[in-house]
């Protein structure tokens, strides 16, 4: 017989398995059998050509990009140095000369 873990909330020893979760019948707490760290996979961010991007890389803009809320445009061929990868819709944070801090989508840049 396998040893099931005690409940992390009330420390009850009467836990049971229910699908992919453990359940405590005393306090009704449920938690996954596989720890969240083990199921999380590293997110890979790629440029328009499929190259893997990393923090600190330099990239080049491949399309004219309008700056929202401004009349400025980031032109094709603008080189951006020292990018920082972040989670979200716009997955690159950077500073562009003459414009300032911006967030870009990786689909509009290529690795330099």
- Residue entry with tokens 């003459």: 98
Going by DSSP bridges, is the β-strand pair 21-23/16-18 parallel, antiparallel, or unpaired?
Answer: antiparallel
pTM (predicted TM-score): 0.62
Q: How far apart are CA 62 and CA 68, in angstroms?
A: 18
CA 91 to chain centre: 8
Tens-level pLDDT at each residue, the chain (112 residues): 468 888 888 988 889 988 888 999 999 899 888 764 444 566 789 999 999 999 999 999 999 999 999 999 999 999 999 999 998 899 999 999 989 999 999 999 999 8
């Amino acid at each position: 017989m396998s040893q099931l873990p005690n409940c992390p909330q009330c420390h009850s020893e009467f836990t049971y398995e229910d699908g992919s979760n453990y359940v405590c019948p005393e306090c009704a707490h449920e938690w996954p059998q596989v720890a969240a760290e083990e199921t999380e996979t590293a997110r890979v961010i790629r440029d328009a050509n499929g190259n893997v991007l990393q923090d600190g890389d330099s990239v080049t803009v491949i399309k004219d990009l309008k700056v929202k809320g401004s009349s400025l445009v980031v032109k094709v061929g603008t080189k951006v140095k020292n990018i920082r990868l972040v989670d979200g819709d716009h997955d690159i944070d950077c500073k562009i000369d003459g414009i300032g801090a911006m967030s870009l989508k990786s689909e509009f840049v290529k690795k330099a």
